[in-house]
Amino acid sequence: MSAAWTALVARWDAAREAIIERVDGVLSQATSVSEPIAATSTTDANALQRLWQSVDAKMSALAGEVSDAWDSISDEMSQVEGIPKGGMWLEGFKRDACTTDIEIRHGRARASIFAKAAASMLRYVQASGDPDARRMFAHGGAVFIAEQAAVENWAGMKTAQTRIRGYRNPKAVPMQLLEYYAKVSANYWRIRYATEAKYNPAQQAGVETKIANFTKSSHALLLEHPQWRAAASS
């Protein structure tokens, strides 16, 4: 492995780490500003939605910076003599993994703060008995509570999906990883929609169909892999 290659990998690693630090800074500040708003939410989370629109845009921009950094440094890497076997693929996968990491950090922070707003909304509904507030909670707060309840399974699903997509040869993906994706994605959709239905009775009648449809859609990824198809048909 040449010194030039090692130096470029180090630069690439440092660039991603610097972007992740900025991601954490933006999310930390947004959470701090959001806490008192969430704690006083009553019938909706419109104020939080407006605040997090700018956060969402910043996360998208930072994910774009990861891709831009890779585009730049990969050009330099391609000029290095004696690139390690699989080296470019591995470094390119780091881009995808970092982009997913940003999405997950963002999703966790967002789900947490909106769930706190939902808890405040639910307290207001219970204290006031306002039927309009209850209806609004069913269509808003219930979703926020459900997203928080399912967020770790969502994070596991996104991470596994990125790892699966990272293999150049579908046949090389370990069955253990495919099985994990199958389980965690099914768990995500079940927790997400069953929890929402718990707080929104209007959703209960069709919840099993909705869960089955979303799970089937997620599991389409598995069918791209011959080892999964073979195991499923045996």
Q: What is the pLDDT of residues 152-188, one digit of tens each?
A: 999 999 999 999 999 989 999 999 999 999 999 999 9
Residues 150, 131 share a domain: no
Rounded distance between C-alpha atoms, residue 131 and residue 137, angstroms: 10
Q: What is the pLDDT of residues 47-84, one digit of tens each?
A: 999 999 999 999 999 999 999 999 999 999 988 888 88
The reported pLDDT for the residue numbered 1 is: 64
Residues 61-70: contacts with CB within 8 Å, 24+ apart? Answer: 62/19, 62/22, 62/23, 62/26, 62/102, 63/99, 63/102, 63/103, 65/19, 66/16, 66/19, 66/95, 66/98, 66/99, 66/102, 67/95, 67/99, 69/12, 69/15, 69/16, 69/19, 70/12, 70/94, 70/95
Contact present, 88 and 9 (Cβ < 8 Å): no
pLDDT band at 45 (very low <50, low <70, confident <90, very high): very high
Residues 153, 133 share a domain: no
Q: What is the pTM of this model?
A: 0.94
- For residue 195, the enclosing domain spans 145-234
Number of domains in the chain: 2
Residues 151, 89 share a domain: no
- Only one residue has tokens 């967020």, namely 151
Residues 164, 135 share a domain: no
The reported pLDDT for the residue numbered 2 is: 85
Q: What is the pLDDT of residues 107-166, one digit of tens each?
A: 999 999 999 999 999 999 999 999 999 999 999 999 999 999 999 999 999 999 999 999
The reported pLDDT for the residue numbered 29 is: 98
CA distances from 65 to 12, 58, 71, 118, 207 (A): 12, 11, 10, 33, 39
Residues 114, 3 share a domain: yes
